[in-house]
Every structure is written in structure tokens, then in C-alpha cells.
Amino acid sequence: MHTQHTILTIAGSDSGGGAGIQADLRTFAALGNYGTSAITALTAQNTQGVQAVHGVPPAFVQQQIQSVLDDFDVHAIKTGMLFNADNTRATVEALKTHFSGRTMPPLVCDPVCVSTSGHSLLAPEAIQVLIHELLPLTTLITPNKSEAELLLSRSITSLEDMLEATKDLIRLGPKAVLLKGGHITAKLSDLGRLLSAHPEARVVRDGMYGDKMEILAVNGPQFEYLVVDVLREADDSVTVLARPRIDSSSTHGTGCTLSAALASALADGNTLSEAVMKATAFTHLGIATAYTNLGSGQGPLNHLHSVAQLSVPPRTPGNPYPFTKLLITGSAAIWKEYVEHEFVQLLGKGTLPRASFVQFIVQDYHYLKYYARAYSLLAAKSPSFSRIGSATQTIGHILREIETHRAFCGEFGVSTDELESTPESAATTAYGCYLMDIGIQGDATKLLMALLACLLGYGEVGLWLKASASWVILEGNPYRRWIEDYSGAEHQAAVRAGLETIEEAAASNPPSPGLLAEWRAVWDRCTKLETAFWDSALHLKN
């Protein structure tokens, strides 16, 4: 399981939600981390552009950072749009004050100067403050082409220029630099040229197959252009990351997303190069899977491609059986038809016709043979000795249960020979063979879904009859022993164990909506087969 880490972003706010702290916080959440924020400036912004900016006073920027750092254990920090020289200084001051004499967590500096839509987001005089005061504290700086050009006062137009620029950028003070190549046109041949001139560079190709993955290769003109990013680390090692360029207008907030994903990966304890690989892949997928109906301009990335809605709520003390509850409430009407069946009600009143009870008990005897075989199949499908043990323990219970059935039958004048020779009813065959078919079709969990409608339903019936004292007659009821068996300790313990097994199965391998639908279908089918079983006995159908 992923451990949640806390991250602080110091950046601007984007009302449109695609960039700024909004993109950062969404990225942290998508990656399973907790985000805090200090806002340097508000923008009234949408996918078409920036309509207005409201700078936050430097003292308030500093106060926000302090409030977060004083209370939270922060595992990584990122800076985005710092707006002006004063807010850049306020940021540096807040960090230096808090971390004086303490180790500062990794700091990712995204030197945001201009928005995707072309709006200037950093006052020119702030650049020198950023270089002289913030970069020396920085673990990783993540400029794009124009930001690197501004920082170095020279133009960068080729992959070779990029590699050279990372050398000079690292001299400005950060421990490492990731120069982003999104705005530089490169082809596979350009990459080849760069790598043959720089054999020392490590290369990471993402979405570009090779190395014994020929069968997965994709080709086509759309894969001709690449995005190449260059990472240079403190030891001067260079990693070149290449992936196919995506032709997309959903790129609003790409830089924010990347630097947030970097901070998140560093908070999780990844090395710089691992963090860069994960964060660039995350960002690339954010563009590739973006919703295109958000705003009419440069739309935001999809930050949530890495998560899915859960189909089953978590187990909590107040709701320890959320999965079973979902199954039962999901088809409450058919569950009620089953557990409140007329057969059950007549049985509770002691007025069920004797012939119906005999038919039930005889058919149940046949059904239990299927049921024992299905549990044997469950044992054969079980991955551990404990699961094999609990399945065979249930078979043991069933073998004892049939003794009770034989005794019952004796009381009701049916000999064991007669019991054995009575043919199965259609309801018994349908239910029994359905269990076996599910056992062949699916895995152990799916078979459990089929087996539990019987276990849990009889447990519910037992408790209901026991609790409904006003109309249920126990004294002199010819079926009293049946009621006491299913409300008794042994069956209720089996119910408890069954609930634990099914909840554990659903919690340890949370089902996707599709799988949940499959499981529900099995549960519902068995619930109906139970009703049919009682119908059959009540109406003496064969």
C-alpha cells in the first residue's frame, strides 16, 4: 500500500482549475498524497487566457507557508508562479526561517514566467531574485524552452542546445535540472544524432518500443515527432527522456502538473531519475487522456487517469460488511422474497403442511450433495492451506447436517432408502448445477458468491424467526428444531465466517464495476433459485 505523504505547493491560483495550485493539488491527490498550499497570486483565468491577476501581499505569502510548515510534516515542496520579486523573497525567507538548522525536504522549482496562453506571470525583476536566492535551495529546476532562455539569456533551438543549456542551468545553483523539450521540434533522427555524439547519456524511451518488445511496436506518421526532455544531475550524469509527441490542445497546466508530479514522487522517496520517469509519464498520460470538452481554449490535462472509483465502500467499525450490504440492498426485493417466503412464515407459525416440509427436507438432502461438491471445488480452487481448511470444514458441517436431515425424515416417516431414491426436483437440479457451473467458469471468489446466498439467507431466516416472537410459535411447533438449528450457534458462527471471507475477498481485491456486476448477477441468481426452491416445496412441484 502507498503511504500518504504531505506536500506543499507555493504557487498561483487558477480559477479555471487547469493550472496553478489547483492542478498541483489534483495531481497530489491523484498520486495518493496530501496537498497543502500557499498562494502567491490569484488569477481570474480560463482556458482562453488570463483575464486579471491579484497579487497576494508578501507577508501573507510568508504566513501561509509558516502555517503549513508549523503544523504538517512536509515531505516535498514545489514552487510555481511566484508573481514578483517580493513574493519570491517572502518564499525564500519563509523556507530559510523554518528550515534553519533542519533538513529541508526536496524542493522542485518550476520557474513559471509565462502562461500557456502567453500571459506574463513573473515580473522581470523577480528573475534575478529567483536565480540568486531560490535556486541555491532547489533540488530540481524544471524550465521549459523559453524559461531556460530567459534564465540563460540565449536561445535554445536544438537537442544539442538543450544538453548544453542544462550544464549552464545547473551552474546557477540547483542540484539538478530537467529541461523540458515540449517546445522544441525533434525527430527520431535528431535523437539518434544527439545520442551518438553523447554516448555517456542514458536514454529512456517511453511508448517507443524495442528491446524484445517487437510485438508491441506501434508505427505511423503520428509517431514521427518526439518530445525530448533532458535531466542533468549533480554528478553531471545525463538522462534523455523521449516519447512520441501528442498533437493536443489540452496542455493548459502541463508544467504545473509535471512539477507537482515530481514533488509527489520525491515525497514518496523516489530517486531523481525515477521521479522524472514517473512524473513525465504521468503528465504525458494526462495529455493523452484529457477531456476535450473543458473550455473553448487550451484545455486542462486529465489528472485522474491514475485512479478509478471504487465500487465497494471501505470497511469501517460502523459498517463492517459493506460488500454484503451492497449485495443485499442492491436486490432488496428479491432478498426479501427469499428470506420472508410464505414457506418460512408457515414454518414459523407451525402451520406448514407436512407434505411440503417433507418435500423440502428431501430435496434439501439432494441439494446438499451439490453443495458439498461445490465446496470441494472451492477447496480445489483455494490458494492457501487456511482457505482449503475452511472449505473442507464446511463440508464437514454439511455431512453432519445430512444426519439431521435423515433423522428429520425418520420423524416424518421417510426412510433413508426412500430419501435416496426420491428423484431430484427441477428446482434442485437448477440450483445445484448452477453452483457447479459457476465453479467451473470462475475463480474461488465467484464461487463464494454462489455459495453464500444459501448460508447467509438461512442464517437470516433463523434470526428473524427467533426474533419475531409475537407470531412465531416455538412451543409445540413440529419444525422447532429446524428453526433452532439455523438460529443456533453453529450455523450463526458459519454465517460470521462466511461474511468475513466474502468481505476479505472484496476488500483485498476490490472489484471493478464490471466484476462487481458479475458477482451481483451470481448472487441475485442464487437468491432467486432459493425462492424457487421454497416455491417448489410449498406447491409440491417436482
Question: Exposed, middle or buried, 171 (CB in 10 Å: 0-12/13-18/19+)?
Answer: exposed
Instruction: Tell whether the torsion through CA atoms of 270, 273, 278 and 280 is positive or negative.
Output: positive
Taking the complex as a whole, the smallest distance from the CB of residue 433 to a second copy amounts, in Å, to 14
Considering the rule CB under 8 A, would residue 17 count as an interface residue with a second copy? yes
Taking the complex as a whole, the smallest distance from the CB of residue 443 to a second copy amounts, in Å, to 4
Looking at the Cβ atoms of 101 and 318, the one nearer to a second copy is 318
Sequence-distant (≥ 6) Cβ neighbours of residue 349 within 8 angstroms: 471, 472, 473, 477
Residues 423-442 that bind a second copy (CB under 8 A): 440-442
Q: Which of 113, 256, 409, 526 is catalytic?
A: 256
> What's the CA gap between 123 and 110, in Å, rounded?
15
Looking at the Cβ atoms of 120 and 441, the one nearer to a second copy is 441
**Annotation says 256 is catalytic:** yes
Which cell is 380 given?
Answer: 480445489
- CB atoms near residue 489 (< 10 Å): 7
Sequence-distant (≥ 6) Cβ neighbours of residue 200 within 8 angstroms: 237, 238
225 by DSSP, 3-state: which?
A: strand
Residue in 106, 300, 348, 432 binding a second copy, rule: CB under 8 A: 300
**Annotation says 180 is catalytic:** yes
> What's the CA gap between 154 and 137, in Å, rounded?
24
> What's the CA gap between 143 and 255, in Å, rounded?
8
Residues 354-393 that bind a second copy (CB under 8 A): 380-381, 383
CA distances from 538 to 188, 243, 278, 341, 449 (A): 76, 68, 63, 10, 26
**Annotation says 255 is catalytic:** yes
Residue in 145, 232, 278, 303 binding a second copy, rule: CB under 8 A: 303
Count residues near a second copy (CB under 8 A).
115
Residues 212-251 that bind a second copy (CB under 8 A): 212-216, 218, 222-223, 243-244, 246
Taking the complex as a whole, the smallest distance from the CB of residue 68 to a second copy amounts, in Å, to 5
Stretch that binds a second copy, among 80-88, 142-150, 233-241, 329-337 (CB under 8 A): 329-337
> Residue for cell digits 506543499?
8
Taking the complex as a whole, the smallest distance from the CB of residue 170 to a second copy amounts, in Å, to 30
Which cell is 334 given?
Answer: 428479491
Residues 306-325 that bind a second copy (CB under 8 A): 306-310, 313-314, 316-321, 324-325
Taking the complex as a whole, the smallest distance from the CB of residue 347 to a second copy amounts, in Å, to 16
- Extract the runs of DSSP E, i.e. beta strands, from 407-522: none
Stretch that binds a second copy, among 121-129, 178-186, 391-399, 505-513 (CB under 8 A): 505-513
Stretch that binds a second copy, among 298-306, 366-374, 403-411, 412-420 (CB under 8 A): 298-306
Per-residue mark of binding to a second copy, 57-96 (x: CB under 8 A)? x--x--xxxxxx-xxxx-----------------------
Considering the rule CB under 8 A, would residue 515 count as an interface residue with a second copy? yes
CA distances from 94 to 85, 248, 434 (A): 14, 38, 68
Q: Which residues of 380-414 are buried (b: 16+ CB within 10 A; e: fewer)?
A: ebbeeeebeebbeebbeeeeebbeebbebbeeeeb
Looking at the Cβ atoms of 2 and 400, the one nearer to a second copy is 2
**Annotation says 498 is catalytic:** no
- Extract the runs of DSSP E, i.e. beta strands, from 24-97: 34-46, 49-55, 74-79
Residue in 510, 520, 524, 535 binding a second copy, rule: CB under 8 A: 510
Looking at the Cβ atoms of 143 and 300, the one nearer to a second copy is 300
Q: Is the separation of the CB atoms in 47 and 294 below 8 Å?
A: yes
Looking at the Cβ atoms of 13 and 428, the one nearer to a second copy is 13
**Annotation says 254 is catalytic:** yes
Considering the rule CB under 8 A, would residue 22 count as an interface residue with a second copy? yes
Residues 159-218 that bind a second copy (CB under 8 A): 207, 209, 211-216, 218
List active site positions.
180, 251, 253-256
